[in-house]
Amino acid sequence: MKRHSLILFLVGSAIAFSFNSCVRSIEKVHSTELRELDPALQGVRKSFGNRQINDVSTWEQVRKPELIDYYENYVFGKRPSFNPSVSYSVLSVDTISIDGVKMEHTEIQADFKYRGRKMKSYYAKFLPLNIKDPIVFVGLNFFGNSTLDTLSALTHSNHFVMKNAGVKTKGHRVTEESRGTKAYRWPLDLIVGSECGLITAHYADFDPDVNNGFLDGVHGLAEGRVHFRKRNEWGSISAWAWGLSELQSYLELQPETKNSKTAVIGHSRLGKAALWAGITDKRFDMVVSNNSGCAGAAQFRTMRGEDIEKITKRFPYWFARNFQSFRGNDSLLLVDQEMLLSLVAPRSLYVASASKDAWADPEGEYLSFYKSQAIYSLYDSTLEIPYKYPAPKEANEYGSMAYHLRAGEHEILRWDWERYILFALDQLK
């Protein structure tokens, strides 16, 4: 009895510790060296050691590694070093037609194992017929594969989901009536009709979007159910980014896509994940951020829309616990999001905003995009982006960078995809 009580105590303590939202002062979070820096003077081309970054070599060897390290420790968290085994089972293969466009659909079950622990994920892959190594978009979806189309072979998710207009749920689980309700976010006729492919999975397969103490998903796979979390350990955004890399790994094992160029893409919180995946995994040839907002493409220091305090109070589990220390002190963070976007360079980058999406701060997203040219121009001396905030429905390309402002609300629509596909075909073909 005492032994069982001890086990329960340890499990309860671990859960309580992972839920712990106490906020340390920044003085106790930043290292001695970092505390001496003035955040206002930390531009993307000035290292923490006060070294000016004027060439690709210094960027790659000095500034880029320290920025990734900072984001790992103070924003998204550090992933543990673990290497699960994975096996794949093909659940179904169909030749289907959507709005007159024929394509091959494959539904795959991925089984992960690590130190006796297990996790499953379900991938939906759509490819054009008779085209070897097409460009493939890699993205996670919010409500499960079954919401992409009415096709009965698409896997129905039983994970927790957020409430959303148009998606019928029961107890935070999608119902069969929701099959195909998010097809407008994934215009398969357009994607495959442009001779591109798509692979997607439900983001909750890799980490359910709920604050349950990191007991399941890839956190549970990597660390088990009893784990005392450090302040700089990975949150959900990093877990979703890990999932995107797993989709990429699957593509590389398939004869029809092993040499495909890939574009990682995400909307909203999954836009943050797509950016972090593109930064931590160089196998992605193009990165697309759609309305990614706070901790994505939007500037912290504009103080418009969502900020660190708002996002960490509602979604503390998305980030390293260190990030909470900047609540109400966004300006004391030693990075801003032109630095995040710059970490994609020199690969292709597309940032998109929506004109009525005030919560995501579209002007702040454009400002980050504009300022990130400071690093992209090290690779392309002809690059010049004017500081002119676009009008709604305006899309512009600048070398390996592109930005558009869609007219409307926080969403990803066919209009967005049309521009992503054109840019991908231009950049990756």
Q: What is the pLDDT of residues 148-164, one digit of tens each?
A: 999 999 999 999 898 88
Contact 28, 35 (CB under 8 A): no
The neighbour count for residue 92, using CB atoms within 10 Å, is 14
Buried b vs exposed e over 225-260: b needs ≥16 C-beta within 10 Å? eebebebbbbbbbbbbbbbbbbbbebbeebebbeeb
Max Cα–Cα distance, the chain, nearest Å? 73
Rounded average pLDDT over 374-398:
96
Which is higher by pLDDT, 205 or 386?
A: 205
Mean pLDDT lowest among 5-19, 243-257, 293-307: 5-19
Residue in this structure with the two tokens 């990682």, named with its chain if needed: 264
Rounded average pLDDT over 302-328:
95
Rounded CA-CA distance 135/158 in Å is 30
Rounded average pLDDT over 34-62:
91
Contact 43, 374 (CB under 8 A): yes
Residue in this structure with the two tokens 């039983």, named with its chain if needed: 158
pTM of the predicted model as reported, rounded to 2 decimal places: 0.93
Rounded CA-CA distance 139/425 in Å is 17
Question: What is the model's pLDDT at position 3?
Answer: 45
Residue 165: pLDDT band by 50, 70, 90 thresholds? confident
pLDDT at 381 over 90: yes
3-state secondary structure (DSSP) of residue 74: helix
Strands (E), 129-278: 135-141, 196-202, 262-267
356 burial type by CB count under 10 A (0-12 exposed, 13-18 middle, 19+ buried): middle
Residue 298: pLDDT band by 50, 70, 90 thresholds? very high
Per-domain residue ranges for the chain?
85-428
Which is higher by pLDDT, 27 or 113?
A: 113
**CATH architecture label of 85-428:** 3-Layer(aba) Sandwich (3.40)
Rounded CA-CA distance 77/305 in Å is 23
What does the pLDDT look like over 171-201, one tens digit per residue?
A: 889 999 999 999 999 999 999 999 999 999 9
Phi, psi of 202 (to 5 degrees): -70, 125
Question: Cis omega (within 30 of 0) on the bond before 390?
Answer: no
Stated as kind and residue range, the H or E segment containing 350 is strand 348-354
Residue 398: pLDDT band by 50, 70, 90 thresholds? very high
Question: What is the model's pLDDT at position 22?
Answer: 46
Question: Closest by alpha carbon to 242, among 224, 220, 227, 259?
Answer: 220
pLDDT at 4 over 50: no
